[in-house]
Amino acid sequence: MLYIVATPLGNLEDLTPRALRIFREVDAIAAEDTRHTIQLLSHFNISKPLFAFHQHNEREATEQLVEKLTRGENIALVSDAGYPCVSDAGSYLTQTLRDRNIPYTCLPGACAVDLALVLSGLPTETYAFLGFLPREGKERERAFAKIAKSEDTVVVYESPLRIIKLIKDLKPYIKERRIALVREMTKIHEECVRGLAEEVITELEARAEVKGECVLVIEGRKEEVQEQTGNIEDAVRKVLLLKKKADLSLSQAAQAVSLITGHNRKELYKLALEQEE
């Protein structure tokens, strides 16, 4: 049997008694980083054979794991923190096991998405988790457009080195929607910075650096803003102003204003281009 086990985000007291029992009973443990997992097991005086299972070797390691399971071995799968398969390796594995009718189960435990969502204080009835967003290009623009249209609360992951840039890039798309930056969850310096994008940016830029893995929670779009707001001339002026102040291309600015006002993006782009000329 394969056991997919959630591990602590930081506070080791969050490892469940059931997870400890499984670690002691299994034949081996598949780990995202074996060095990290050795430290976790050593804290609880557990010694087990480990082998690497991460995003760079997932397909090869899946076959290795399947071979062990078909021999009747019991294996635990862990990531460095939180739940495997959530922005970590494991999705290909579970699909393979499903297709080959090999049973597996999941042990509940810490998950950064759930914790950040509740800590944010934003609506939790429905939400969308987008993981790490693309870093550049049209894929990043499409992700921003998806967030701009979403009426659900949106949760994304980001590195502390890139979190300020992400919020700055998102700002034109989310307008006056509230956000919450959650970091260092379950640790001594756990923090949730709440406010509008500009307020959070100001708070973060006042620091020497931002530390800890970050989870950004974004309020959903209010239903009423889907209707057209303001006349087309005002919308075109907003496109040109946004392009200048946010250092966006004309196309990006037109897309952002279109999502905010409901006016046709192509029409906004065409009229703004004519005014520029």
Distance, in Å, from the CA atom of 227 to the CA atom of 275, rounded to the nearest integer, reads 25
| pLDDT at res. 184 | 95
pLDDT classification of 226: cutoffs 50, 70, 90: very low
Homologous superfamily of 2-110: Tetrapyrrole methylase, N-terminal domain (3.40.1010.10)
- What six digits make up the tokens of 10? 């930081």
- Give the strand pairing for 104-107 and 2-5: parallel
| Residue 159 and residue 213 in contact, taking contact as beta carbons nearer than 8 Å | yes
Pairing of the two strands 75-78 and 191-196: unpaired
Terminal alpha carbon distance of the chain: 67
How much is the pLDDT for 223? Answer: 61
Q: How many CA atoms lie within 13 A of 58 on its CB side?
A: 17
Q: How confident is the model at residue 263 (pLDDT cuts 50, 70, 90)?
A: confident
**CATH number of this structure's domain 113-224:** 3.30.950.10
Q: What is the pLDDT of residues 43-57, one digit of tens each?
A: 999 999 999 999 899
β-bridge pairing 153-158 and 214-218: antiparallel
- For residue range 187-216, what is the model confidence (pLDDT) as tens digits? 999 999 999 999 999 999 999 999 998 999
**Is residue 10 scored above 70 in pLDDT?**
yes
What's the predicted TM-score (pTM) here? 0.77
